[in-house]
């Protein structure tokens, strides 16, 4: 289950989308064709992860996909607010009197790298800075129709 949720999504709007190989929960995804933006609530059905134990032993191949997902699919939320690193944001509160990048500022995904930025040119709109606090360049982003 995604751990970067900031404000709850509407469960009735969730759908299973085909997502890239290796996609885990909490990833920002853009649906092929429609260019709708969402965040994976579960990992892709065939995704795996690894864990390092206290003694240094690495366990790999641990299933990380959502139960019941197609091998190529993940459950995706199309609304709510999520925490993601964003290049060039200012840390601090996003309120009117805060020192952070202000609530409502558009956020874009750089097509070539998947990184998030405040620069619109040539990039895909993903949402807007939400009401909250930006810490270490990690900002609350409201996705969906905003």
The proportion of the chain whose per-residue pLDDT surpasses 70, expressed as a percent, equals 99
**Residue whose structure tokens are 């601090």:** 92
C-alpha distances in angstroms, 16 versus 29, 75, 79, 80?
12, 4, 14, 16
Q: How many CA atoms lie within 13 A of 4 on its CB side?
A: 20
**Which residue in the block uniquely carries the two structure tokens 């191949």?**
61
User: How many Cβ atoms sit within 10 Å of the Cβ of residue 124?
Assistant: 14
Q: Tens digit of pLDDT for each residue in 40-98? A: 999 999 988 889 999 999 999 888 888 888 999 999 999 999 999 999 999 999 998 99
pLDDT for 86: 97
140 or 24: which leads in pLDDT: 140
Q: Give the pTM.
A: 0.88
CA distances from 79 to 7, 10, 47, 55, 90 (A): 9, 7, 23, 40, 24
Average pLDDT, rounded, for the chain = 93
């Amino acid at each position: 289950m995604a751990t970067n949720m900031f404000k709850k999504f509407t469960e009735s709007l969730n759908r299973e989308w085909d997502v890239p190989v290796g996609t885990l929960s909490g990833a920002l995804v853009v649906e092929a064709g429609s260019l709708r933006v969402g965040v994976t609530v579960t990992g892709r059905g065939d995704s795996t992860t690894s864990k390092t134990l206290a003694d240094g032993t690495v366990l790999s191949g641990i299933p990380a996909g959502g139960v019941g997902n197609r091998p190529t699919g993940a459950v995706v939320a199309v609304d709510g607010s999520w925490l993601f690193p964003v290049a060039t944001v200012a840390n601090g509160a996003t309120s009117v009197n805060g020192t952070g990048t202000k609530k409502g500022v558009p956020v874009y995904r750089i097509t070539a790298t998947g990184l998030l930025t405040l620069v619109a040119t040539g990039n895909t709109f993903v949402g807007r800075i939400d009401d909250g606090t930006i810490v270490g360049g990690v900002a609350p982003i409201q996705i969906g129709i905003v």
